[in-house]
Structure 1
Amino acid sequence: MPLKNTPRPLWLTFDCYGTLIQWDEGLQEAVRELLARKGAAGTPPEELIAVYDRHEHALEQTPPHRSFREVSGEGLQRTLAELGLPESPGDAGLLAGRIGAMPPFPEVVGVLRTLKAAGHRLAIVSNTDDDIIAGNVAQLGGLIDRVITAQQAGAYKPDRRLFDHAHAQLGVQPAEVVHICASPHLDHAAARDIGFRCIWVDRGTGRRLLPDYHPDATVGDLRGVVDLFATLGW
């Protein structure tokens, strides 16, 4: 076990969407509604989501830095144009407006409570805006100590500047953190480049590991983190 004989972390940092919050489920629901509005209910939501993801991630890495609301709106606009679907005035805010209401996975609040009771300090590091994530954090039982966003750092994952900013804000070195995430293409690149310890939450969504990085541990959901920490004496 790679984490064995490493020091107990001062902070646990979490990716938010897909790790703590039901991102895929919420996004598919919003996209189904969007397609139905456009008379394209027969289009698989996964098709639109794949195109949207490509545009969103490209825009996030294109200077200058813009808010997630702007990135999301333009990404959706480009997606609709590429798929030949009509654009409507309310489209731009649809996805961003739904994100804050997306709920946590069923086990998340209980696990966070257990980790907090064990003395861990908990932070979120997320590719979003402060006002968007506030709705999600409000559903996490007041258990999160810090929330660090792309808006604050002026950079989106996988750019390491977001994690460098997070470590500076938390007052820790990378070796004093364990990061817990479900997004290999965003978070694992930073873990590889910076060298912080990383646990992958593989919820069976089909996401694949980077070819040149393997996480320090893999769990099926957040309950696996508690079990893993018990074996490590953390």
Structure 2
Amino acid sequence: MGDVRWATFDCFGTLVDWRHGIATTAELLFPGRGPELLELYNKHERKVQAETPAMRYGGVLEEALRRATREAGLELREDDASALSATIPYWPVFPDVPRALADLRAAGWRLALLTNCDNVFIGESQRRLGVHIDAVVTAEHVGSYKPNPSHFTRFEESFGAMRDNWVHVAEGYFHDIEPAHALAIPRVWINRQGLTDDPSIADVVLPDLADVLNAVEQTHAAAQRR
């Protein structure tokens, strides 16, 4: 399958608006505190994933939310700890996603998701994308969370992806762009948040997915010339 062209994507943050999903759910639990809890959750999620890489994503959601509310001085009821797991199937897809994925498929690219969630959650989110996905690698499959490189190596080994025919597209700098760079996998950074991290480690930087087909084609052409 070395001649197959693969465009792989992170899901949450790149395709699904996880910030909206977490902030809105937190706001339901603690009115007026949603944005604050989003930022605290983001900080604690990384720590939970690093400390317990074999934990299923539902457990990560619960533990990170517990730590975030505790740091914010809020009391999280035990029966509310699963709120994020309950709402994740309804977190919205970014408006630019269906067209961008459809354009890539029409141009002959196969699509895959390399995601830090588990099999059930990605199945629930995948139905909202509106485009067939050819392959999925989850944290449940590999027993670890990005930036551990296992998602990338499992995908490469399982589907015979060649790095000069593979472009990874992601919003997450820490979870995706840095490890893809370390593995010399061609990469497009979707900097939706306007972050100031070093853009030079990405082959192309975009603010959204509107022009992702051109970016992926450009990155692929450069990889072919190396």
TM-score (norm 1): 0.85
> 1:50-103: per-residue Cα shift (whole Å, max 9, x none)?
222222111101145110111111111122222221121222211122122112
Which residue among 137, 143, 159 is the counterpart of 2:148?
A: 159
> 1:183-204: per-residue Cα shift (whole Å, max 9, x none)?
101101211211100001122x
RMSD of Structure 2 on Structure 1 (CA): 2.3
Q: CA deviation at 1:208?
A: 3.5
Match of 2:201 in 1: 214
Q: Structure 1 residues 27, 206: CA separation in 2 closer, same or farther (over 3 Å shift)?
A: farther
Q: Structure 1 residues 84, 16: CA separation in 2 closer, same or farther (over 3 Å shift)?
A: same
Match of 2:224 in 1: none
Q: Distance in 2 between matches of 1:231 and 1:51?
A: 37
- 2:16 is aligned with what amino acid? I
- 2:122 matched to 1:133? yes
Match of 1:101 in 2: 90
Match of 1:200 in 2: 189
SS in 2 for 1:55: helix
Q: 8 Å contact 2:53–2:143 — kept in the other structure?
A: no
Q: 8 Å contact 1:76–1:91 — kept in the other structure?
A: no
Q: 8 Å contact 1:185–1:210 — kept in the other structure?
A: no
SS in 1 for 2:121: helix
Runs of 5+ consecutive residues of structure 2 not aligned to the other structure: 222-226
Q: Distance in 2 between matches of 1:74 and 1:52?
A: 9
Structure 1 runs of 4+ off > 4 angstroms? 229-234
Match of 1:68 in 2: 57
Which residue among 5, 13, 21 is the counterpart of 1:18?
A: 13
Q: Distance in 2 between matches of 1:193 and 1:147?
A: 21
Q: 8 Å contact 1:175–1:195 — kept in the other structure?
A: no
1:47-126 equivalences in 2 (<5 Å): 47-63=36-52, 65-126=54-115
> 1:4-27: per-residue Cα shift (whole Å, max 9, x none)?
xxxx97100001111111222222
Q: 8 Å contact 1:183–1:207 — kept in the other structure?
A: no
- 1:174 is aligned with what amino acid? R
Q: Structure 1 residues 164, 233: CA separation in 2 closer, same or farther (over 3 Å shift)?
A: closer
Q: Distance in 2 between matches of 1:138 and 1:127?
A: 17
Q: CA deviation at 1:232?
A: 7.3
- 1:227 is aligned with what amino acid? N
- The structure with the greater share of residues assigned to helix is 2
